[in-house]
Amino acid sequence: MKKKYNWSVLIGAAFLMASSAIGPGFLTQTAVFTEQLGASFAFVILLSILLDAIAQLNIWRIIAVADKPAQDIANKVFPGLGYFLSFLVFLGGLAFNIGNIAGAGLGLNVLFGISVAQGAVISAIIAIGIFVYKEAGKAMDAFAKTMGILKIFLALFIAWISNPPLAEAAIRAVNPTQFSFTAVLTIVGGTVGGYITFSGAHRLLDARQTGMENLPAVNKGALSAIGLASIMRLLLFIAALGVVSTGAHLDPANPAASVFKLASGQFGYKVFGVVIWAAGISSVVGSAYTSVSFIKSFHPLILKYNREIIIAFILISCLIFVLIGKPIKVLLAVGAINGLILPIALGVMLVAAYRTKIISSYKQPLWLTIAGSAVVITMIWMGYGTIMQMLNP
């Protein structure tokens, strides 16, 4: 009998994934690469959207059909592989969360003049409050939707104010004059790498919205999440392009803030405070939830104390930031690291798609397997290119 799909959960999962992607690192990466590549960054964005959509469709569908979290699927593909994948995703999520906490703290610093550390602590308390609430799943869905809509509308305002050269961006989207392996790897990694693509899929799993009969809805959720993240990326890109096309230079200490300030003065700077706080706090929620979801099936105690472990994850991220700080380079590096994790995670899902003990009678569309394999090969190739660029600058 066909399940009645909960569309509210589906939309919440899409926003959770998109909000997990649109964190402080997302803002920083977009500003930095727009300044480096100019209008040609439009080509990188379009290429990354294609890669993102293929990766996300494969991963969400296999998790939905297998009705198991990614780490359990990986362990069935090869014993112990799930533990390795969980280790990579958990550490990557923790590193990302330090930047997320810092970004939220910076947002409150810009808005209210308190120290970034104080802002980080306040933001961590707000994030923890969502998981303390008895209906944490519903609260997380509602919070993700609200923050997602807020970020998109504010980015749209700044994109309009900055008066970008849209015609040139459209031309360079198909005829770029510059290209960067690092940009593609970092942008894809910052959108669907590491824990991010699993955030929405694991949310559907927890809400029991899975099964072959629900694949059409899962497809819509996966593509909607990529669409939301891509809209935000494009808006930030054209806003930054409007600024840098005038010859202005972004502040390397905070390139994303420069875009908003140069576009709209002090008012724009305050808008940036709202955007980066919303980006930081929503990504804290998504990162903590998903990272812990990768270990909760390994022991009954972890499952029993799942909420407490999520809270501890947020507290540890906050403590590390308060003690160490937030260098912009870390936000860029973590995106690239997550991009290197993606071919491992996607490769595991592609193998699982042909193991009947995992997916039963499900038949993976051949085009999706071929496209997913192409993404794995492309990400490995670009990862190699990025490493070579680092070794031979």
Question: Residue 5 has what DSSP assignment?
Answer: P
pLDDT confidence of residue 89: 85
DSSP string, 266-293: HHHHHHHHHHHHHHHHHHHHHHHHHHHH
**pLDDT tens digits, 275-300:** 888 888 888 888 888 888 888 878 78
Residue appearing with tokens 């491992």: 344
Q: Which of 276, 282, 275, 284 is nearest to 97 (CA)?
A: 284
User: Backbone dihedral region of 113: left (phi > 0), alpha (psi from -120 to 50 degrees) or beta?
Assistant: left
Q: Note whether 317 and 98 are within 8 A (CB).
A: yes
pLDDT confidence of residue 41: 95
Q: Which of 343, 255, 291, 324 is nearest to 26 (CA)?
A: 255
Which residues does the chain have with pLDDT short of 50? Answer: 1-2, 327
Cα distance between residue 355 and residue 359, in whole Å: 6
CB-facing half-sphere around the CA of 393: CA atoms within 13 A: 1
